[in-house]
A and B are shown apart, each in its own frame.
Chain A
């Protein structure tokens, strides 16, 4: 009898949770962050943690494994319970709000969702500088993973030049901001008042992206003349050329690196760029050209016969991917406020490839998951020092053996269908119907 009741309760809970729209979950997230502000520190002390676990407790996983149960308890009390209960309680409200937004315009609805998510993320990160840095780097990792996925997943080639594009973007935008707004011994006083800086910073990033695209052109012209593995080799050679070129450019510090970038890449800036990147790449891969791109991957001859301009498709995709890698590189330079050519080498390439193939080819969600998962994992394994670089490769090999295209591969990502209200279908009358594309 009791068992039956428990089962019924569980089923009820499950169907109730199924009715929670995305907006409800996001509200829950904001609530959890508020709870953490209010009771986080005392609760952490009471649980014997000393301080608030910074990254969902993964940072404690190997540093002090004995604290993991307390960290788990903290997760449940501060994150899971508030998120779940607020999502459940606000379910009707959130559904009605989501419906109103949807009626207003799907675009507005998406923007509001992203904004609520941002409020939650930002206030979560603000608790600690380490969190801010990790969130920034994770967003950049997602951008880089997605843009590399464009080439390695959607286009089906093997490109090794992403660290090179990053380096081009990083150095271009750094030089621009330093010359224009900061000034240095080598470049003389700043050319423009620094008050203009934050407004012109996006232009510097875009310039970095364009230079990266220009570099991509020198890879694309020789590699796309013939079908085959040339991209892999030429892009590898290109990456080593870029690295070596920067090492020899004394103007930007050579192998010692380049520093003094202004501190303009705040969390908001990085978040806005990351959202722009995801949105643009997602709409690119769902456009006609994106579909043509998949056709080129699956059979270049057949695509050509179906009037796809294969060479142009590949070129545009490659330059587009390089552009975003350049922008991400520029942001990276301004987040770290120091770059050196050694950071854009084979190690970086291995990390980027790991993120792409871990997350999954041909999938925006997979790239986001790969970037976030890899960053969290890599922070968790940090206390293990060099053994980290045995565990990560072993796990990746296992992923490759059991899921050769990655964990979440070949998934279409449709933000509009995500933000739809959930629950009884009768309530959804009047909502503009957007065909789910599969």
Chain B
């Protein structure tokens, strides 16, 4: 029982990363009908930006210029890194996707893949192969509930990601911008004629998704404080699968599927040798998609394949 509860806690933490990244995939996929294969690497960029911002803030404190409490540094890091990374995301959209909006969708998917490779290799070339460690911003405190160990880091991670998910859901449902995004997901041809600025919405979608990925990166850095340029690849592809499992155009679906993937992975590792994790997790994904091809919350739709 304790093992079970402990795994639930761990799964919630892993699921948070997947869910936050999956949201970005899901938004881009539903609004622009694009696979943004660079998203996993934007998560990596976000983690590195967070690393630099927090190191700079900690450095300011150490040199006596501006001593801030650690929680404030964390909040500032999250906000600043989210803003900076959202610019990276918008840049990716401007350079890699906007020129290809009329092109076959697969070509755009390929540019995304290539931008991802550029981000990885660029990081490797600029910063070297040395792994970098994230500064400790939260002094780890361990709580015990009925034999289950919960660290405050885990609580922060899960809370922040759930809060962000709810905030995004409200943004998409309640605001005018969110309405424009949903409209574009519904129809790509008529909606621009209704005065919706298509380029602005596309940039906003990428910016929001990248900001969430940056937050995921920082939270990842808090939990596993070793960063390397290829950290985004596998996590990113898994989050992509989660986004599809959730269903096209469903923010809640993508979030829940992210958590589901976290649960599947942790529990597979619990029951089988841990090397079976990917094997079984992805087999389950194939089975789920066989029986629910539109994901959990997606509506049946006919894709307008432009090629």
Contact = CB atoms under 8 A, between A and B. Distances in A.
Interface string B252-278: 000000000000000000000101111
Interface string A235-246: 011101101110
A400 B104 CA distance: 10
A248 B237 contact: no
A228 interface: yes
Contacts of B102: 404
B244 A241 contact: no
B110 A354 contact: yes
A230 interface: yes
B290 A222 contact: yes
Contact of B110 (A218, A357, A389): A357
Contacts of B100: 400-401, 404
B110 A400 contact: yes
Taking residues whose C-beta sits less than 8 angstroms from the other chain, chain A's interface range is: 35 or more
Interface string A383-421: 000110110111011001100110000000000000000
A241 B237 CA distance: 13
Interface string A199-243: 000000000000000000010011001111110111011101101
Interface in B264-307: 273, 275-279, 282-283, 285-286, 289-290, 293-294, 300-303, 305, 307
B115 A237 contact: no
Given A228-B293, A357-B107, A400-B100, A237 B282 contact: yes
A156 interface: yes
Contacts of A387: 121, 125
B282 A240 contact: yes
A132 to B, nearest CB: 29
A238 B108 CA distance: 22
B122 interface: yes
A339 B32 CA distance: 39
B113 interface: yes
A226 B275 CA distance: 32
Contact of A405 (B107, B277, B278, B289): B107
B275 A396 contact: no
A18 to B, nearest CB: 35
Contacts of A222: 286, 289-290, 293
A396 B110 contact: yes
Contacts of A218: 286
Given A386-B121, A397-B111, A241 B307 contact: no
A346 B283 contact: no
B117 interface: yes
A346 B286 contact: no
Nearest to A346: B233
A333 to B, nearest CB: 21
B109 interface: yes
Contact of A241 (B118, B121, B278): B278
21 contacts: A158-B35, A222-B293, A228-B302, A229-B244, A230-B289, A233-B240, A236-B237, A236-B240, A237-B241, A237-B282, A244-B275, A244-B277, A297-B307, A353-B113, A357-B110, A386-B125, A392-B114, A394-B114, A394-B118, A397-B95, A405-B307
